[in-house]
Amino acid sequence: MKAFSRKLMLVLLALYATGAIANPPAAFEGRRLYVSYCLLCHGADGKGDGPLAKAMKITPADLSTTIRSRSDTILTRIITGEGKQTITGRERHNLLSEAMPEWKEVFDDAQIQALIAYLRFLSRKKHDLMGDPEHGLELYQKYCQVCHGVEGDGDGIMTNLIGIMPMDHTNPNETNSLDNQALMSSILDGKGRYMPAWKGILSQSDVEALVSYIRLLSF
Ligand code: HEC
Ligand code: HEC
C-alpha cells in the first residue's frame, strides 16, 4: 500500500509538472515580445519591411540574414544598446545608428534570451509559421503534452506508462526536414501505432496553429 501511494504521488507530481508550471519555449516567448516591440520596424519575417520602415531614414536591418553571423553576446549588446561601438571590438560607428532603439530598460535577461531565440528562428527557419502559435500552445498543452512532453522532446507522462517514443519536436533537423503539409497530415491522419489521428477532433486551423507552435519548440 505504501509503495503504491508513493508511486501515485510520483505520478501526480509528474502530472503537475506537465501542467501548471509549464514554461513556454524560448522562441515562443521571444515571438510574443518581437510582435509587440520589433515587428513595427523589422517586419513579420524580420526582413526590415515593417509598417514603420518606410518612415525611417535608416532602413531597419534584415534580421533574417544579418544575425546569422552574430553571437548571442553581440546580439545582447545590440538589443540592449550597450556597446554600440564595441560590436566587433573595433570602431564601427555606422553598424548601429540611433535608429535602432535601446531596450535595456525594457527587458530582463531571460526576455533578451527569448528574443534572440526567436531571431535565430527567423534566420534559420525553412518553413513559415502557418497558423497562430498562441492557439497552438493551448492545444498542445491540452492534447499533445501527455506524450510529447512539456518541452516537446518526447518524454511525456504517457511514454512511461505505455513505452512509446514520440517524435522529438525540439530537434530542428527532424522538424525542419518535414514541410508544413507533412506535419499537418501526420497530425490529422496519425502515424504508427501510438500517434493518434486528430481529424474530427481538431479543425484545419487548430492543426495549422499546432504546426506553428511545434516549429517554435526547436529554437
Ligand atoms: C523604430 C524602429 C525599430 C524598432 C522598433 C526595432 N528596431 Fe532593430 N533596428 C532598427 C534599425 C533602423 C536598425 C539598423 C540600424 C543601423 O543600421 O544603424 C536596426 C538594427 C537591429 C539589429 C542589428 C542587425 C545586425 O545584425 O546588423 C538587431 C539585432 C535588431 N535591430 C533587433 C531588434 C529587436 C530584437 C527589436 C525589438 C526588441 C528591434 N530591433 C526593434 C530599427 C528598429
Ligand atoms: C498517445 C501519445 C501521443 C499523443 C497524445 C500525441 N502524439 Fe504525436 N506522436 C506520438 C508518437 C508515438 C509519434 C511517433 C510516430 C511514429 O513515427 O511512428 C508521434 C509523432 C508525431 C509527429 C511526427 C510525425 C511524422 O511525420 O514524423 C507529429 C508532428 C506529432 N506527433 C504531433 C502531435 C500533436 C500536434 C499532438 C496533439 C494534437 C500529438 N502529436 C499527440 C504520440 C502521440
Q: Which ligand is nearest to the CA of 77?
A: 1
* CATH at 95: 1.10.760.10
Q: Over the chain, what is the mean pLDDT?
A: 85
What the block records as the C-alpha cell of 42 is 523589422
Among residues 73, 101, 124, which one ends one of the domains? 124
Nearest CA to ligand 1 atom 16: 96
Residues 54, 109: one domain?
Answer: yes
pLDDT of residue 178: 94
Does any domain span residue 14? no
Q: What is the pTM of this model?
A: 0.86
- d(C-alpha 146, C-alpha 152), whole Å: 10
- Does ligand 2 come within 6 angstroms of the Cβ of 172? no
- Does ligand 2 come within 6 angstroms of the Cβ of 27? no
Counting atoms of ligand 2 from 1, which one is nearest the CA of 198?
A: 38
Residues 35, 116: one domain?
Answer: yes
Asked whether residue 20 carries a pLDDT value surpassing 60, the answer given is: no
Among residues 89, 124, 159, which one ends one of the domains? 124
- Does ligand 1 come within 6 angstroms of the Cβ of 38? yes
In tens, the pLDDT along 168-188 reads 898 888 888 999 999 999 999
Does any domain span residue 13? no
Cα of 114 vs centre of ligand 2, distance in Å, is 26
Does any domain span residue 19? no
Counting atoms of ligand 2 from 1, which one is nearest the CA of 139?
A: 38
pLDDT of residue 158: 87
Residues 154, 198: one domain?
Answer: yes
How many domains does the chain contain in total? 2
Cα of 62 vs centre of ligand 1, distance in Å, is 9
Among residues 124, 146, 173, which one ends one of the domains? 124
Residues 118, 138: one domain?
Answer: no
What is the separation of C-alpha 216 from the centre of its chain, rounded to a whole number of angstroms?
Answer: 3
Asked whether residue 116 carries a pLDDT value surpassing 90, the answer given is: yes
- What's the angle, vertex CA 172, arms to CA 218 and CA 153, rounded to 5? 55
Does any domain span residue 6? no
Asked whether residue 115 carries a pLDDT value surpassing 90, the answer given is: yes
Nearest CA to ligand 2 atom 36: 144
Cα of 29 vs centre of ligand 2, distance in Å, is 23
The predicted model gives 121-135 an average pLDDT of: 94
Residues 100, 159: one domain?
Answer: no
Residues 36, 70: one domain?
Answer: yes
Residues 134, 200: one domain?
Answer: yes
Nearest CA to ligand 1 atom 11: 60
What the block records as the C-alpha cell of 90 is 573595433
Residues 182, 96: one domain?
Answer: no
Of 47-56, 58-67, 155-164, the one with minimum mean pLDDT is 155-164
Host domain of residue 113: 26-124
Residue pair 206/126 in contact by the 8 Å Cβ criterion: no
Residue 172 zone, left/alpha/beta (φ > 0; ψ -120 to 50; rest): alpha
Does any domain span residue 9? no
